[in-house]
């Protein structure tokens, strides 16, 4: 909080004072998404490598002074962040790639990277003296909001589209959220939530609207930098829906670079599904974003009309990265690869980032020797049905050990 210099509208460029309470640009309205700007010169003086080395908080709150929060006591919060950054055991060899890492965001308290944003949202709601916080979500924004709100004693109201997977709905119910199911797609759900939030005066956790949430998401980049001893990778791969996650990644790497903690900003690979790729299309054709269908099994990135087009696009452009698309089949193949070769189970939108990397090697966008981090954005247990059709039936019952022996022999052959 101490380091905020001002807010800037991503649409009209207007600068707004640091004590602003509105979530969007007063001139542009809801599409006037704000960016939080920091005084890097001041930040540089206190936020050094030694500052982090002596920081004993093993959660995302170790970065709270670099965010737009007034709160300083996080002792009652869930432990968000500090997720593992694994060096690949097997895929590096299988793919013939350079040093390859997986950032396992599925290890967050509610099982996805969204916890980083929701946790911030909950504290901003408390700062604004709101008792209820609401959002529209395809799943993870909602389940993370419900969990983090429950922990801090807030009510949550969640607007979900018809297609939300069972695992995510179950989480919402377990966390005691008030569920409003909309008979429509994500867009319809979003519009409905906006109306309700306005008329009931709730706190708005919708990621694109709320500029503070990207500030939470950026901590994933800080962690990668710290986990690599400030020698960041050349490429970071992540799947893209609304564009907030990739925007957060860029912001985090930009912050660390701007205060001299790292020497470069990694190139960002934004991965979309072939059946829903508005960012990729706009990037390739150099046009504005055009609404597309939402035709993919990766529900978390099934966003036909992205709500954070400017920040999402700039993250890829300014980092010198690229957008890429992958098929649903490639996503499922990658989910199995990730599980069987690395012991990591990602939901389809999470496995998509690995599918994107494989495709980027194929297209020579990423060269084989590059150091790469792939972000596994959400846990596979959230959407187990997606992978069920891909795997053989469980083995059944055995009276004879011979049958089991034969099965295992066949299964091993099949896999090798």
Ligand X SMILES: *Cc1c(COP(=O)(O)O)cnc(C)c1O
Rounded CA separation 272/356 (Å): 8
Instruction: Single out the residue of 4, 9, 182, 352 in contact with Zn ion (rule: CB under 5 A).
Output: 9
27 binds, among ligand X, Zn ion, none (CB under 5 to 8 A by kind): Zn ion
Decide whether 349 or 366 has the Cβ nearer to ligand X. 349
User: Three-state SS for 258?
Assistant: helix
9 binds, among Zn ion, ligand X, none (CB under 5 to 8 A by kind): Zn ion
- Site for ligand X, rule CB under 6 A: 112, 114, 140, 207, 239-246, 300-301, 303, 347, 349-350, 377-378
Helix orientation angle between 114-127 and 244-258, rounded to the nearest 10 degrees:
80
11 binds, among ligand X, Zn ion, none (CB under 5 to 8 A by kind): Zn ion
Which helix (H) or strand (E) segment holds residue 269: the answer is strand 267-273
Rounded CA separation 247/212 (Å): 12
301 binds, among Zn ion, ligand X, none (CB under 5 to 8 A by kind): ligand X
For position 58 contacting Zn ion by CB under 5 A, the verdict is no
280 binds, among ligand X, Zn ion, none (CB under 5 to 8 A by kind): none
**Count of CB atoms within 10 A of residue 329's CB?**
12
Decide whether 47 or 137 has the Cβ nearer to ligand X. 137
Pairing mode of beta strands 235-239, 267-273:
parallel
Decide whether 34 or 269 has the Cβ nearer to Zn ion. 34
Rounded CA separation 141/206 (Å): 8
In sequence order, what are the residues at sequence separation of 6 or more whose Cβ sits closer than 8 angstroms to the Cβ of residue 313? 243, 279, 282, 283, 289
Distances (CA, A) of 393 to 401, 406, 411: 18, 15, 11
Rg (CA), the chain: 21
For position 25 contacting Zn ion by CB under 5 A, the verdict is yes
Decide whether 126 or 352 has the Cβ nearer to ligand X. 352
Q: How far is the CB of 78 from ligand X (least distance, A)?
A: 17
**Count of CB atoms within 10 A of residue 263's CB?**
10
Decide whether 3 or 185 has the Cβ nearer to ligand X. 185
Chain residues 323-352 in contact with Zn ion, contact rule CB under 5 A:
none
Decide whether 85 or 194 has the Cβ nearer to Zn ion. 194
Instruction: Single out the residue of 2, 15, 22, 27 in contact with Zn ion (rule: CB under 5 A).
Output: 27
Q: How far is the CB of 31 from Zn ion (least distance, A)?
A: 8
For position 15 contacting Zn ion by CB under 5 A, the verdict is no
């Amino acid at each position: 909080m101490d380091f905020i210099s001002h807010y800037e509208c991503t649409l009209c460029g207007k600068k707004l004072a640091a004590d602003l309470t509105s979530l969007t640009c007063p001139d542009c309205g809801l599409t006037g998404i704000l960016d939080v700007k920091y005084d890097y010169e001041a930040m540089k003086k206190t936020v050094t490598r030694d500052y982090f080395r002596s920081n004993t908080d093993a959660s995302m709150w170790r970065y709270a002074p670099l965010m737009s929060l007034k709160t300083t006591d996080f002792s009652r919060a869930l432990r968000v962040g500090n997720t593992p950054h694994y060096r690949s055991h097997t895929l590096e060899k299988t793919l013939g790639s350079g040093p390859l890492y997986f950032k396992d965001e599925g290890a967050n308290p509610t099982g996805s990277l969204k916890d980083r944003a929701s946790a911030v949202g909950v504290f901003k709601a408390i700062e604004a003296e709101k008792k209820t916080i609401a959002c529209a979500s395809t799943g993870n924004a909602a389940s993370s909001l419900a969990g983090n709100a429950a922990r801090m004693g807030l009510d949550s109201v969640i607007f979900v589209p018809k297609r939300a997977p069972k695992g995510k709905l179950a989480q919402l119910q377990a966390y005691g959220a008030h569920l409003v199911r909309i008979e429509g797609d994500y867009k319809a759900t979003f519009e409905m939530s906006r109306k309700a939030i306005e008329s009931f005066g709730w706190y708005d956790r919708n990621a694109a609207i709320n500029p503070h949430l990207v500030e939470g998401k950026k901590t994933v980049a800080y962690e990668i930098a710290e986990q690599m001893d400030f020698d960041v990778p050349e490429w970071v791969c992540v799947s893209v829906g609304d564009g907030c996650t990739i925007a957060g990644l860029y912001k985090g790497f930009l912050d660390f670079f701007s205060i001299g903690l790292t020497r470069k900003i990694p190139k960002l690979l934004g991965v979309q599904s072939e059946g829903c790729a508005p960012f990729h299309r706009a990037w390739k054709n150099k046009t504005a974003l055009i609404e597309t269908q939402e035709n993919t099994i990766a529900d978390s990135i099934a966003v036909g009309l992205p709500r954070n087009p400017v920040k999402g696009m700039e993250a890829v452009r300014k980092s010198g990265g690229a957008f890429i698309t992958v098929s649903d089949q490639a996503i499922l193949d990658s989910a199995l690869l990730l599980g069987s070769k690395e012991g990591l189970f990602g939901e389809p939108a999470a496995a998509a980032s690995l599918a994107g990397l494989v495709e980027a090697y194929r297209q020579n966008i990423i060269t084989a020797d590059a150091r790469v981090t792939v972000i596994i954005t959400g846990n596979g247990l959230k959407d187990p049905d997606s992978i069920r059709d891909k795997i053989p039936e469980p083995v059944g019952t055995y009276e004879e050990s011979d049958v089991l022996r034969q099965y295992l022999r066949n299964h091993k052959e099949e896999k090798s």
